[in-house]
Every structure is written in structure tokens, then in C-alpha cells.
A and B are shown apart, each in its own frame.
Chain A
């Protein structure tokens, strides 16, 4: 299986985007090698700005670029983008609805060995509560590239969540990403697995194993957490009558919460949520952590069985 990190796809997409759109500028905070903005920096040094280890100023400066007609992509690790610079994102980017693209890498547990201080598990929650903020969590490299181009064409602030490790390529070239549109990756009538980011590949694996048990699970990829594709969620709940969500994020405030909000108001069905159970992460290999914190295909399978019993 072909693999690629979404941050690598981001780095490549930026260089392509820079060639066709001269308004694109890129800002980083001393992590250009890791966030993969270094490629753009090499190609277009006059449009790259290293702001040093100063994330608040990174976001504020990006806001100023946007207010001057540029399309700034501001990158650092998700923990520092949404953590250190939350106020700048909320008040200087979100409140004036400025056209800043925040591309944050190293989100989630799969940061690995750096440990809990670096594993951002609250960003989806923090970003989706900012009015007017578009929140995108790509599931693979193909979707990442398209999401970066779509974000550059979208007017308004966008948060794009990227990861550190190589993950399976799910989509082929026929796939067409659209902001606000969920994609149904597998049909099924018994239960719906609604997943985002790296958990989409796990969801597909889970669905395959469930098939062998005679359970037909649908898999819905939600790459735009906001605006959320409510119709797709309601439809699949109507069809299956049971929902499991899966995300590499705190169980509070992320995809599971967003889906629950939609279902409870429109079409309540039994639901289980896979995610980090309101705790911080720790050091370890990405895969060991996914195992320890219950974010593997087998956990999704368990949740499916549980939710089917409640149907």
C-alpha cells in the first residue's frame, strides 16, 4: 500500500500553488523542515517568512498579510498554532474573518515520542467553535493536496489539520474534494462508521473485518468538520440506524461531538464515539499509542458491535 504523510503532501502542494498563485505567502515559526514549508521557502524565498519561535506574532502577521490582499499560509505544530496563538486566531483572524490559512502539522497522538506536551488533541474542538472558521482534516495525501488548493480559493479563515506519520493513500486521482462535502467510501446498511483524518483508514479496515462477520458497515469520511455535511450524516443515520464516530482527538468537542449535535437534533440513533478519552497523551511510538489509547480498527469494531446491540 502506498503511504504518505499529510504534511508531505502539504509541502508539495504549496510549491505547486506558489507557481500558479503569486498572492500566496507562507509563514513558519522555526519548524519549516517539519511542517514541510521548507520546499516553498527554497522555491520562493521572497514569499517565505520565518517568524522565529513566536507563534502569536506568526498568526498576527498572517492576519496583516490577509488584510493586505495576500493569501497567507501560516504553519507550525498544531499544539502551538491552536494553543499558544488561540487568541490571535480567534480575535485577529476569526473575528475580522480574515483570509488566513492555518496549516498545522503534528496533530494528535501520532506525534509519538515527543510526548503529551506536543500531542494536540483539542484543536478540532477549539477551531470549530470559532465563528466562520472552516476546519479541514484530510484523510490522506491526495485529499490534502486538493484541500490546500480548495482552501486557497476559499474566502475566509481555514484551519487544516495535518499529521506527522506516513499513512495509507486512500483516494485515487478521480477523487474530487469539496469543502463541506463528506465522501461515502463504502456502502453498508447495518451501521455507519463516520471517521476523520488518520482514522478513516482504520475505519475502512474495520469495515472489511466486519464484513467477514456478516455486518455491513458503511464508511463516511468527514474531511470538513466545519461546515459539516449534515445531510450526509442524517442520510446515513437513516439508512443504518446506528453510528460510530472515530477521530484522533479528545472525545470532547471533536468529530464525535459535532456528529452527535446533528443527530440529536435531527435523527437520534444509538451512537458510540472512538477517540481519546479526555486525557493527555504520552511518549511512545505512534502505533503503540494508537493501541494504548484505543484508536485501532479493532476498537472501531468493538464500538460497532456495541452500538448494534443498542439498535
Chain B
């Protein structure tokens, strides 16, 4: 159990992240709110409780790494990095604009705190295999966290990486699957079912933990347990709601990659107070 104060703090930060997401995507006029909102609680937990990072020294060698393999959810990552202090919160309103350091998809050459350039689905996950292997080689104890989408796992590359992670016993790699049930063309099971997910990851040699991805206690328990697992990688399958927190966006595939209009931003922000 987390103490009450800590829980409140992470909850407040998650709310902040959601406000930033809606505002910045609205200001950009394009972008991906749905899959950003579904991931907000997990990113809040990672950045404000779980991970060792130093915003003053983004390339600190001992830091934990987070890779957003579902790179289109960049807004939630940028919100977390800004709230954590990697760059000013004001920068968020420059999202997707020309000459901004906040690209439509994460760019490690432009944004402090971004560990890997992603956007082409499946690619970020493989990169975390290399990071985890490098940490082992250097006998470092930092950990690698990676978030995947439940549509993203349709990519063959994901399963190549999954096989490598268990083969090399990467217990310093903790993956989270944002299990929101939707991709662009609709419900994952109508487009191309990746199910059964739990059994697939287990068969690939991973420890699987299933949780409610909006329940901070469950998130806390999942990461606590994941840290104790030895000799294999851990996949946390986090059941989430795409668009979580904004009623008119929740469970609507149409909000995957559509920006809210100014009046919709207003409406959303009222709900996120």
C-alpha cells in the first residue's frame, strides 16, 4: 500500500497530465489524445514514484529509462517530462509546431528526457532490449521501462523482441501494455485480434501481471511485484479506457488521432478539474 499522501500526489499529477494533454493537442490542432489519456495514470506513477531520473541531468548514466514504444502518445510523455522539470511547462503549447522541440512523435535528438525516437510502432520495444542488455553488460542496476499499445502488438517485431527478452533473461526490463481495446480502425478484436494476450506473453517466457491501469494501488502493487521477479522480463497488462477522464472521448476510436476544438477543450478541462 502507498501512503495516502503519496497516492494523492500521484493522482493530482495524473490529473495535471490529462489537462496538459487536452490543452496541448487542442492548441496543436492535431495529435493523439485517446491513447495519451489512457496512459496518464501509469506515466504519472512511473515518473513521480517509480523511476530514478534527474531532470537537471537528463543523461545521468545511472537513470532508469522509459521508452514510449507507442510513440503517437507523445503528449502524455511530454506532459510528464514537463511536470517533472525536464523543460518548461510553457513549451507544451508549441507541440507539433514548426521549429518546436516537441515533435509529433518523440525525438531523442530534440527533447530532453526522451530516451528513444519512436513513432513507427514496434521499433521502440526492440530498442529497450538493447538497453537492458547493455545495462547487464555494464553490471548496472538501472531498469528499463517500456510502454506498448494493444494494437502495436500486432507488429511482428514486437514478438521478435519478446522472444529476445526472455531468451536473455532480461529481469531489468518491465513492459506495460496499454490495454485500451482500441486502435485506429476500431476495436482490436474486429481489426485483427491479438488475443489471448496473457497466454501469448506467458508462452513467450514473460511473467504477466494483469491490473486495472487506472487504479494507482494496483499499479503500485504491479511494479512492486515486477521488481522482485528474477530471470525473466515482466509484462504488466494494464486494462485501460482510451480517452480516460474526458467523457466524450472515452472508448471512442474516433478520438485516437483527432484534436479537440476550442469548445471541446473547455468542456474537457471542466471534467478534469
A and B: real partners? Answer: yes
Which positions in A face B, CB cutoff 8 Å?
A: 28, 30-34, 50-54, 56-57, 79-80, 83-84, 112-118, 282-285, 288-289, 292
- Knowing A32-B185, A50-B185, the reply to whether A80 touches B120 (Cβ < 8 A) is yes
B31 within 8 A of A: yes
**Complex: how many Å from CA A34 to CA B253?**
14
B192 within 8 A of A: yes
Contacts of A112 in B (CB 8 A): 30
Question: Residue of B at shortest CB range from A31?
Answer: B184
Of B96, B99, B117, B118, which one neighbours A113 at CB under 8 angstroms?
Answer: B96
B155 within 8 A of A: yes
**Complex: how many Å from CA A311 to CA B118?**
46
- Knowing A284-B97, A284-B98, the reply to whether A117 touches B119 (Cβ < 8 A) is yes
Contacts of B29 in A (CB 8 A): 113
- Binary contact readout B98-141 vs A (1 if CB under 8 angstroms, 0 otherwise): 11101111010000000001111110000000000000000000
**Complex: how many Å from CA A34 to CA B258?**
12
Task: Please list 9 pairs of residues, one from A and one from B, whose beta carbons are closer than 8 Å in the complex, sorted by A's number.
Answer: A28-B185, A33-B185, A53-B154, A53-B155, A53-B192, A54-B192, A113-B29, A118-B104, A284-B98
Closest beta carbon of chain A to B18's beta carbon, Å: 21
B233 within 8 A of A: no
Closest beta carbon of chain B to A90's beta carbon, Å: 17
Contacts of B155 in A (CB 8 A): 53-54
How many A-B contacts if CB must be within 8 Å? 92
B196 within 8 A of A: no
B103 adjacent to A116 (CB under 8 Å): yes
- Knowing A30-B183, A30-B185, A84-B120, the reply to whether A114 touches B105 (Cβ < 8 A) is yes
- Binary contact readout B176-190 vs A (1 if CB under 8 angstroms, 0 otherwise): 000000011100000
B interface, size bucket? 20 to 34
Which positions in B face A, CB cutoff 8 Å?
A: 28-31, 71, 96-100, 102-105, 107, 117-122, 151-152, 154-156, 183-185, 191-192, 194
Closest beta carbon of chain A to B164's beta carbon, Å: 17
**Complex: how many Å from CA A113 to CA B156?**
27
Closest beta carbon of chain A to B144's beta carbon, Å: 21
Closest beta carbon of chain A to B195's beta carbon, Å: 12
Contacts of B152 in A (CB 8 A): 53
Of A57, A80, A283, which one neighbours B103 at CB under 8 angstroms?
Answer: A283
Contacts of A284 in B (CB 8 A): 96-99
Interface centre among A31, A54, A83 (most CB of B within 10 A): A54
**Complex: how many Å from CA A113 to CA B184?**
18
**Complex: how many Å from CA A50 to CA B185?**
9
- Knowing A52-B151, A282-B98, the reply to whether A115 touches B184 (Cβ < 8 A) is no
Interface centre among B29, B104, B122, B151 (most CB of A within 10 A): B104
